[in-house]
Chain A
């Protein structure tokens, strides 16, 4: 393990010293060096996440596909979404934006005589058990994701953006990142905001993202797979999430919103635990371009529909 950590440190150090830092120096942005170094983890974890998702999901999809892939163009569009999203451009913007917000927020708090908390302060047991602390952060963030997802379906303007994700009729593990850019930004602010509020250690943040992203990729995979009677209650499976993508589940009538832990759907009465059900996916009431159009077209339509929803049209 220490060898892997050393190799990773050497590799990131080399990339930073020979590529990123000279760029920062040339742009007179050396005061952002430490932030850029932290961001490098995001980008590398993003690439690593794609590689792991591919290595895990692709054999599964080949083994027991729910349906044969006939719309290759739509899958290619999803791949473009994935690379744009996970190479870290959006996380970088969110990171820079949130770092500034965090500074202002914490400055305001200290002026008011408060110090931002961490979960370890509220539960001292976590301080001595980093793995437990890490798990606690994952659970809290996953809970936040459940409610964000519900909001995406509940508000008309937000559904106008999120419908891009649901319009895919050829769902594969690449589909996870098929989102409107605005939707991604809101998600990053939401997720990062909660992370800052509960004080997720910056060093753990990429790992938390990696785990949630891998779970999401797997849950979108085109594979006839459920985790058994007990497992279905513990972890979101491809079956569980496919049901969420079924046409009858679109919009405000959604089921199975959880990202990692189905317990939230269980608690709040939105879970559908019927095993063996693998319905077709898509959102037939939405414009066809959201399913089969290119990236730019989908973005434009999503934006137009969101503005329309806000304007009451």
Chain B
């Protein structure tokens, strides 16, 4: 009896050990990285910084967002014409959906619309966010790249990388409101304090643009190849990445004055923030992910896949359980996206049925 009690005590204490060994503040956030030239998604654990999953995609994933109900991660595979849905807490692929060339995509602030740029097809698509029904497809000038909204969700702004311009699109009429020149190869566009901040990649600055008419009101030096502006979670700071000078410039969120810059070799691109406030930055040209401490500007890097682009941090308290190899294969089932409700707009691409028939002969 005594021996059994001792055993019970031993195993009971042993069961407590893992909990005792991990401080209560320890985290195991999951970091999702889209390897655009590797047709895969790396999933890293933030504590160990090790890759715990590698999810294959068809071709070329660039950007990702949470679904309107925020329950799933929606990854756009622009080359594969697919949306991949992932449970962000478990890194499991839940389903795939045929979708026309999703490059950059964002939900409107009211969550009702999903606007998607098709960089290589010169199209901007406006969808109903909940059903992903195509509402309008706009043929636009060369290389629609990134997009942003007004806070009231009335207007979307799209950079047109090949023609030095920014376009405003009325989300009620689905018609362009204005198109204005902002500088060579504009890339990211961000709404901030009533102004648009456009990364002018063919130059060395961020253009501060009046959203009413597209006029450039001032420019802020950020290093050659200025790409995108990312506000900190409290919006007190803005981080600007620059591809050519390979640096991040820190701007004051109120005055837009530069406060610091950190050299970060490798071509910094997208930025995500973890619950500790650290920046997770994809480095496009070296296949690495940088983790930057915003207090000191110090950084370290970890390897991911080729040309990492979009990045997302999912808060998580406990490490992901080990994974069997067979579980890494995603479900092969692809569901067609819903049909278009619009009558004047071309029906969106849905399925490869015609190809199946043609190639099946």
B42 interfacial contact with A, CB 8 Å: no
- Which A residues between 214 and 235 are near B, CB-CB below 8 angstroms? none
- Using a Cβ cutoff of 8 Å, how many contacts connect chains A and B? 145
Assess the B123–A110 pair: CB atoms within 8 A.
yes
Stretch among A115-123, A155-163, A186-194 lining the B interface = A115-123
Query: For B36, B79, B98, which residue has the most chain A Cβ atoms within 10 angstroms?
Result: B79
B270 interfacial contact with A, CB 8 Å: no
Assess the B349–A30 pair: CB atoms within 8 A.
no
- Report which of A10, A107, A112, A118 forms a contact with B59, defined as CB distance below 8 A: A118
A141 to chain B, nearest CB (A): 15
Residues from chain B with Cβ under 8 Å of A288 in the complex: none
B159 to chain A, nearest CB (A): 10
Q: In the complex, what distance in Å separates the CA atom of A130 from the CA atom of B36?
A: 16
A124 interfacial contact with B, CB 8 Å: yes
Residues from chain B with Cβ under 8 Å of A10 in the complex: 286
Assess the B352–A122 pair: CB atoms within 8 A.
yes
- 0/1 string, A124-147, CB within 8 A of B gives 1: 110110100000000000000000
B101 interfacial contact with A, CB 8 Å: yes
Q: In the complex, what distance in Å separates the CA atom of A9 from the CA atom of B98?
A: 31
A280 interfacial contact with B, CB 8 Å: no
Q: In the complex, what distance in Å separates the CA atom of A109 from the CA atom of B348?
A: 10
A59 interfacial contact with B, CB 8 Å: no
Assess the B303–A21 pair: CB atoms within 8 A.
no
Residues from chain A with Cβ under 8 Å of B330 in the complex: 127-128
Residues from chain B with Cβ under 8 Å of A30 in the complex: 184-185, 201-202, 225, 243-244
- Report which of B60, B123, B266, B354 forms a contact with A202, defined as CB distance below 8 A: B60
Given contacts A30-B202, A115-B349, A201-B39, contact A12 B285 (CB under 8 A): yes
Residues from chain B with Cβ under 8 Å of A37 in the complex: 37, 284-285, 307
Residues from chain B with Cβ under 8 Å of A21 in the complex: 225, 243-244, 267, 285
A68 interfacial contact with B, CB 8 Å: no
- Report which of A28, A34, A115, A199 forms a contact with B350, defined as CB distance below 8 A: A115
B187 to chain A, nearest CB (A): 8
B195 interfacial contact with A, CB 8 Å: no
Given contacts A25-B202, A31-B161, A127-B58, contact A113 B350 (CB under 8 A): yes
- Report which of B100, B306, B359 forms a contact with A203, defined as CB distance below 8 A: B306
A106 interfacial contact with B, CB 8 Å: yes
Closest to B62 in A: A34
B67 interfacial contact with A, CB 8 Å: no
Assess the B225–A25 pair: CB atoms within 8 A.
yes
Given contacts A9-B306, A34-B307, A117-B352, contact A124 B347 (CB under 8 A): no
Given contacts A25-B224, A28-B202, A31-B161, contact A113 B307 (CB under 8 A): no
Q: In the complex, what distance in Å separates the CA atom of A160 from the CA atom of B246?
A: 50
Residues from chain A with Cβ under 8 Å of B81 in the complex: 115-116
Residues from chain B with Cβ under 8 Å of A285 in the complex: none
Q: In the complex, what distance in Å separates the CA atom of A28 from the CA atom of B185?
A: 8
- Which B residues between 298 and 313 are near A, CB-CB below 8 angstroms? 303, 306-307
- 0/1 string, A25-57, CB within 8 A of B gives 1: 100101101100110000000000000000000
Assess the A103–B120 pair: CB atoms within 8 A.
yes
Assess the B346–A113 pair: CB atoms within 8 A.
yes
Closest to B96 in A: A127
B80 interfacial contact with A, CB 8 Å: yes
Assess the A120–B58 pair: CB atoms within 8 A.
yes
A16 interfacial contact with B, CB 8 Å: yes
The 10 closest A-B pairs by CB, nearest first: A13-B286, A9-B287, A115-B349, A117-B355, A124-B332, A13-B285, A117-B352, A107-B121, A128-B329, A113-B347
Residues of chain A at the chain B interface (Cβ within 8 Å): 2, 5-6, 9-10, 12-14, 16-17, 21-22, 25, 28, 30-31, 33-34, 37-38, 99, 102-103, 106-107, 109-118, 120-122, 124-125, 127-128, 130, 199, 201-203
